[in-house]
Amino acid sequence: MGVLRLVDGEKKPHLGYIFEVKDRAKEAIAKSFRGNESRYGEIFKLIDNIWNIQLHRPLHGAGWYLNREFFYNTRTVDEEVATKLFTCIEMLVPDVET
């Protein structure tokens, strides 16, 4: 419920936080079911469906990538998030060939 309040509340969070909150929520759900995927699999499908339809945008990924709090706490670069950053950059930079 905390995730829904964060995303749908009047005070909108920084875009980068949305990625992190979603990941932490899924980790907490899995932990509460002691890692038994058969018990939380449908919940994850619902979360992923909402994520893909409403929140999975390049700007959110770029926000996470550029947020030092998350980026520097991670030892590896998430390829999907990096791709979203590059997509945003491509939208901002005019085509040099034309």
Residue 11 has what pLDDT?
Answer: 63
Residue 64 near residue 81 (C-beta atoms within 8 A): yes
| Token pair of 83 as six digits | 């791709």
Domain layout of the chain by residue ranges: 2-92
Which amino acid does the sequence have at 95?
A: D
In tens, the pLDDT along 23-82 reads 888 999 999 999 999 999 999 999 888 887 877 778 877 887 888 777 677 677 778 888
User: HEC profile for the chain?
Assistant: CHHHHHHHCCCCCCHHHHHHHHHHHHHHHHHHCCCCHHHHHHHHHHHHHHHHHHHCCHHHHHHHHHCHHHHCCCCCCCHHHHHHHHHHHHHHCCCCCC
